[in-house]
Chain A
Amino acid sequence: MRTSAWIAVTAVSLSAISVSYAKGAVPETTNGLEPLAPITAGEPTTNPVPEPTASQQEPSSQPEPSSSSEAPAGSSGTGTTKPNPKPTKTSGSDSTATTAPKPTTPPPPPEPVIKTVNSDVMTYKYGNLQLAVTFKDATITGVQVLIGDTNNGRADAYVALIKASVAAQGTKFGNYTGATYTTAVFKEALANAIAKR
């Protein structure tokens, strides 16, 4: 390559890299997920902070809720985790979700069935993970972490993974860098809950 061309290419490359860094390295990255947000106005996707800690959740009580008969929206499968204010907020928004879409959706369709399914408790490297997945008919509207380790940035991973699972309506999303094992077990639990629905 001629020197002049080389200088030009280097200049363009360096500026592109530095602009990318400046845009990308902002602490809060804006992910291209917004357009894919679910019908429920994106509310539940932002809410489910993985507060519930593994310690208070005894697996013994968990495998059962899979019956998940709580069809009426209100309580959702998170009944056992009530100590935290946030999950209840989620369930609240879920209930509003049931009423909200009504005016907008055409009248003929029957009442959408809101249903929350708890996955089995998955055991992996960093302890256990259990998810509660909320469905409106067949659509995943929200995911909560019932049991799960929150150390080492895994709390952030849950937020991103929940977003991704709602956006993808399933397990077809990529890996959360730095939480590879958690991503894998999260997908497993999600698939389990979907299968149980």
Chain B
Amino acid sequence: MAKDIYTSDLDLQKKRAVTLGSKKRFKREREKDTLEAIWVFSVVAVICFFLLEGGLPKVLTLQTILDATNRLSALVATNLLLVQVILISRAPWLEKVYGLDKTTRAHKQLGKPILYLLILHFASSIVAYSVRNKINVFDELGSMLGEFLSVVAALVSLLAFILVVISSLVAVRKRASYEVWYLIHLLSYVAIVLAIPHQFEIGTEIVDHPAGQMYWLSLYFFAAYNLIYFRILAPFLRAVFGRFRVTRATPEKNNTTSVYVSGRNIDKLQAKAGQFFMLRVLTWKQWWRPHPFSVSAKPTKDYIRFTIGNRGDDTAQLQNIKAGTRVMLEGPYGVFTEVVRTQPKVLLMAAGIGVAPIRALVASIAAKPGDVNVLYRVKDVKDAALLDELKEICEARGFNLVLSDGPSASERDSLSREELEKLEKDAILAIAPDVAYNDVFICGPIPWSRSVEKTLQKLNVPKHAIHSEEFAW
């Protein structure tokens, strides 16, 4: 069984070489800098349009300051909101530079600042008008709501945004179920649409710069295109026309199952070893709730293999998934691949079910015998998924595999941070004494990953050579 998988991997890797060296790293840094500069400039452009229109007059009075705050906060918030939509669209052009976990994190981080700007816009607009009309803010709010229906819609939109941000706070997300969070989060799309009419009815400038109008129009369309096409349409169409379905589900060890997905043109997805897909099982219960799973073998022309550990929740049901079940695949995502590798020597570290992408990398990584070391951490050897395959491939390719078992750090309360670090250092140095000159790929539970990352930095491994992706969010 394992044989047929990795031999095809080996065939593939023989034909491929991989670019290494610091030049590659700088190229990636340049890509990131460019994208980040573009989004900073998009905000700057909005501010410039505003100023060119005479948004901030030479003479500053309370009135002009309030007016400027009102408009500027709205413009910047709208711009950032559209950036946020693009970040969550999972567009490949963005994702392949940062990885899905980083774009999602940026999306999350923008949430609160945008809300603050929206509240500032709301407050300053009401105060600005009430100062001008010399009435109190509540009368002003009432009169605006009475006069303009679009303002009512915008207020509803603001309330929806507040709800969305509250539901996404870490403290709330821990308590509320995924379902509640998800449904509330869908509100944000409604909120974006509800806010549009007031932007047109009373938010436009009488003499808009044509360039400014063009800018906003293109930004709205660009965000909508990315979201609708990449997030929804592309995976849907691929699943429908490719008739993606589970063809086989093989139990591996205790609580792990390998699931094979096949379909027409499945090789066109061009998944690389180390990448993952959002797997959407198209049953009535689960279709709206996708889960990320790593490809656990180099994808072939006929199927993509995932190895799924039982972590409770939906992954428990996936252990018994029936052959023939229709699925949707969103992806491939992630830069936990050779794309980020710059050194000839590589240390691969897996813990628990994090072995899946490591297994794929071991088979297809371009390396000479002895250049790759694999450290596999499990609680119990009996539960070590894919161990036989790993052993076989490492033997065939001349890689060094070390398995370490025992209870995890969190289960051994007696262990202090120093002691744990010492253990980790010893384990790493035993297998890769020259770890400072390695690319290190880490995949496992988050607490373990964090701990290992810290230890690696103590061992002088540069940050850019440590690659770790979060799969739980």
A16 contacts the other chain (Cβ, under 8 Å)?
yes
Alpha-carbon separation in the docked complex, A163 to B206 (Å): 10
> Contact: A175 with B47, CB < 8 Å?
no
B330 contacts the other chain (Cβ, under 8 Å)?
no
CB-CB under 8 A for A25 and B57, given A13-B40, A16-B48: yes
Beta-carbon contacts under 8 Å, B109-149 to A: 128-129, 132-133, 143, 147-148
Q: What A residues does B57 contact at CB under 8 A?
A: 25, 27
Alpha-carbon separation in the docked complex, A16 to B44 (Å): 8
Q: How far is the CB of A2 from chain B (nearest CB, A)?
A: 6
Q: What A residues does B133 contact at CB under 8 A?
A: 125
CB-CB under 8 A for A164 and B53, given A1-B33, A5-B33, A16-B44: no
> Contact: B51 with A29, CB < 8 Å?
no
> Contact: A32 with B209, CB < 8 Å?
yes
> Contact: B207 with A1, CB < 8 Å?
no
B208 contacts the other chain (Cβ, under 8 Å)?
yes
Q: How far is the CB of B26 from chain A (nearest CB, A)?
A: 9
Q: What B residues does A174 contact at CB under 8 A?
A: 204-208
CB-CB under 8 A for A160 and B207, given A5-B37, A9-B41, A25-B58: yes
Q: What A residues does B50 contact at CB under 8 A?
A: 20, 24
B54 contacts the other chain (Cβ, under 8 Å)?
yes
A177 contacts the other chain (Cβ, under 8 Å)?
yes
Alpha-carbon separation in the docked complex, A161 to B33 (Å): 44
Chain A 138-179: CB-based contact to B (< 8 A → 1; otherwise 0): 000000000000001000000011001000000001111110
> Contact: B56 with A176, CB < 8 Å?
no
Alpha-carbon separation in the docked complex, A174 to B206 (Å): 4
Q: Which residue of B lies closest to A185 (CB)?
A: B147
Residue of B45, B202, B207 touching A164 (CB-CB under 8 A): B207
Residue of A5, A9, A175 touching B202 (CB-CB under 8 A): A175
> Contact: A183 with B206, CB < 8 Å?
yes
> Contact: A24 with B205, CB < 8 Å?
no
Q: Which residue of B lies closest to A160 (CB)?
A: B206
Q: What A residues does B51 contact at CB under 8 A?
A: 17, 20-21, 23-25
> Contact: A176 with B206, CB < 8 Å?
yes
Q: Which residue of A lies closest to B52 (CB)?
A: A24
Chain A 23-36: CB-based contact to B (< 8 A → 1; otherwise 0): 11111010111000
> Contact: A2 with B54, CB < 8 Å?
no
> Contact: A2 with B206, CB < 8 Å?
no
Beta-carbon contacts under 8 Å, A1-55 to B: 1-2, 5, 9, 12-13, 16-17, 19-21, 23-27, 29, 31-33
Q: How far is the CB of B24 from chain A (nearest CB, A)?
A: 15
> Contact: B67 with A32, CB < 8 Å?
no
> Contact: B207 with A20, CB < 8 Å?
no
* Interface bin, chain A: 35 or more
A71 contacts the other chain (Cβ, under 8 Å)?
no
Q: What A residues does B32 contact at CB under 8 A?
A: 1
B21 contacts the other chain (Cβ, under 8 Å)?
no
Q: Which residue of A lies closest to B211 (CB)?
A: A32
Q: How far is the CB of A7 from chain B (nearest CB, A)?
A: 11
Alpha-carbon separation in the docked complex, A42 to B67 (Å): 30
Alpha-carbon separation in the docked complex, A128 to B209 (Å): 31
> Contact: A175 with B48, CB < 8 Å?
no
Q: What A residues does B143 contact at CB under 8 A?
A: 125
A69 contacts the other chain (Cβ, under 8 Å)?
no
Q: How far is the CB of B375 from chain A (nearest CB, A)?
A: 31
> Contact: B44 with A13, CB < 8 Å?
yes
Q: What A residues does B44 contact at CB under 8 A?
A: 12-13, 16-17
Q: How far is the CB of A158 from chain B (nearest CB, A)?
A: 12
Beta-carbon contacts under 8 Å, B45-100 to A: 45, 47-58, 63, 67, 71
A184 contacts the other chain (Cβ, under 8 Å)?
yes
> Contact: B40 with A177, CB < 8 Å?
no
CB-CB under 8 A for A2 and B33, given A20-B47, A125-B143: yes
Alpha-carbon separation in the docked complex, A183 to B210 (Å): 20
B434 contacts the other chain (Cβ, under 8 Å)?
no
> Contact: A9 with B206, CB < 8 Å?
no
B36 contacts the other chain (Cβ, under 8 Å)?
yes
Q: Which residue of A lies closest to B207 (CB)?
A: A31
> Contact: A177 with B205, CB < 8 Å?
yes
Q: What B residues does A173 contact at CB under 8 A?
A: 206
> Contact: B147 with A184, CB < 8 Å?
yes
Q: What B residues does A161 contact at CB under 8 A?
A: 206
Q: What B residues does A2 contact at CB under 8 A?
A: 29, 33
- Give the top 8 A-B pairs by smallest Cβ distance, nearest first: A174-B204, A20-B51, A29-B54, A20-B48, A5-B33, A31-B207, A24-B51, A13-B44
Between-chain CB contacts (< 8 Å), 7 pairs = A5-B33, A16-B45, A17-B47, A24-B52, A25-B54, A178-B67, A184-B148
Q: Which residues from chain A sit less than 8 Å from chain B, CB to CB?
A: 1-2, 5, 9, 12-13, 16-17, 19-21, 23-27, 29, 31-33, 125, 152, 160-161, 164, 173-178, 180-181, 183-184
Q: A1-B37, A27-B58 are in contact. List 20 more A-B contacts (CB 8 A).
A: A1-B32, A9-B36, A9-B37, A9-B41, A13-B41, A17-B47, A19-B48, A23-B52, A24-B56, A27-B57, A32-B210, A160-B206, A164-B206, A174-B204, A174-B206, A175-B204, A175-B205, A180-B202, A183-B202, A184-B202
